[in-house]
Structure 1
């Protein structure tokens, strides 16, 4: 699964979106850096309608009467067959920019967190889906998202059997094109990312608490833990 991320290159992502995709609508402005974004918190996303906006991290399809669960991930292998995700996969895809993500591995009596980050650029653009749900009780629309996961690459496999889908810049336009509704056209984008374009190392268990949100979370535990 992918349930904890950090994002602190907002300006760079905005510039890249402008260069790659042209005009878009920025509903956020300038984001402060965040090093530990957790489920139910606000997760920035570039939607297929070319709005760059905050989304609730935990998916709510528009057709549910009351959201009982808020899945944060959708599996690439079954996303087109699940009624909860199928409509958004075909019509409402998104990019979620992150400088990296955390994953935990059982090591002895505790779970050790690892930070995964790109080596050839400052951030990943994760493949995601989104939807809008009307909250009658509070008279507002909630825009929510879920990160798509796929099988782990060689770097991830010792830590976890899943990893987020990462969309390369050359495929951003295709991924966000809501006119593309044929799943077969998109499946090649759901493959594991290349291991040689990523790196990982152990970080402090302080990241376990979403209350902690500071740059020190990214400090390696020690040089010998680097992969």
Structure 2
């Protein structure tokens, strides 16, 4: 799932389609955007982008979030709280990259006579660990490598999303919240995760934000992006 991304308004080319929309919006470049933060989103028929909070803290009666940080494309038409937003509350999230993590296989250490010294071994020559040591190893999480996904052109791009107004607990006023729509991973992302955010082309952005089109027209743009246009880079976390 997409739980981190980057957005840098200071590096949006003046001729880029997002430049005028982001102009004047008060936010700092964010290279680790995460849920609960205020980030720019583009709304239908709005002259400028607005700042909205990624994911709503409000809960449904069943305890599930009203608007989580990700919404699966497959659930849009079948879960009522998402379906009701589709006709008027679609949005675009401008980004320049997103991140996923993949577990790194630990290297097996060679058991030598020195490492075996003072350690009891079983019949197969494996060290016999204490209960405490086994518990510690069980709790240890395998190391993960962070990867960045962006366009080969290195241009900013838009992710498909939903937005809604909700009550801001700090101010008691209504405020916008958003969620990123995910779909099945393309061949660039699949080795790292089985889902990816819906990346829109410049043409499909227009379709996605056009409230005058039929549902089928804008729903059909929710497809895995062309992997040939994407780049993947291992980065330090």
TM superposition score category, shorter chain reference: 0.7 to 0.9
- Gaps of at least 5 residues in structure 2 are 106-141
Alignment match, 1:42: 38
Looking at secondary structure, tell me which structure has more helix per residue: 1
> Cα offset for 1:31?
3.5
2-side partners of 1:18 and 1:123: how far apart? 8
Contact 1:94/1:128 (<8 A) preserved: yes
Alpha-carbon deviations, 1:63-112, whole Å to 9, x = none? 969x8625101111121211121122221111111110000111222121
Cα distance, 1:83–1:132 mapped onto 2, change above 3 Å: same
Alpha-carbon deviations, 1:35-55, whole Å to 9, x = none? 111110112100124141111
Query: Which one has the largest radius of gyration?
Result: 2
1-side partners of 2:218 and 2:70: how far apart? 17
Give me the CA root mean square deviation. Answer: 2.8
> Cα offset for 1:141?
1.2
Cα distance, 1:146–1:47 mapped onto 2, change above 3 Å: same
Alignment match, 1:172: 205
> Cα offset for 1:187?
2.6
Secondary structure, aligned partner of 2:82: helix
2-side partners of 1:36 and 1:79: how far apart? 27
Contact 1:80/1:183 (<8 A) preserved: no
> Cα offset for 1:151?
0.2
Residues 1:76 and 2:73 aligned together: yes
> Cα offset for 1:172?
2.0
Secondary structure, aligned partner of 1:96: strand
Return the TM-score normalized by structure 2: 0.74
- Gaps of at least 5 residues in structure 1 are 206-227
Looking at secondary structure, tell me which structure has more strand per residue: 1
Secondary structure, aligned partner of 2:225: coil
Alpha-carbon deviations, 1:92-147, whole Å to 9, x = none? 11111111000011122212110111112411200011011134773311200000
Alignment match, 2:225: 193
Alpha-carbon deviations, 1:167-216, whole Å to 9, x = none? 11112222112233x432123211100011111111112xxxxxxxxxxx
2-side partners of 1:52 and 1:27: how far apart? 8
Return the TM-score normalized by structure 1: 0.77
Contact 1:60/1:145 (<8 A) preserved: no
- Tell me how many residue pairs correspond in the alignment: 199
Pairing partner for 1:33 from 26, 29, 34 = 29
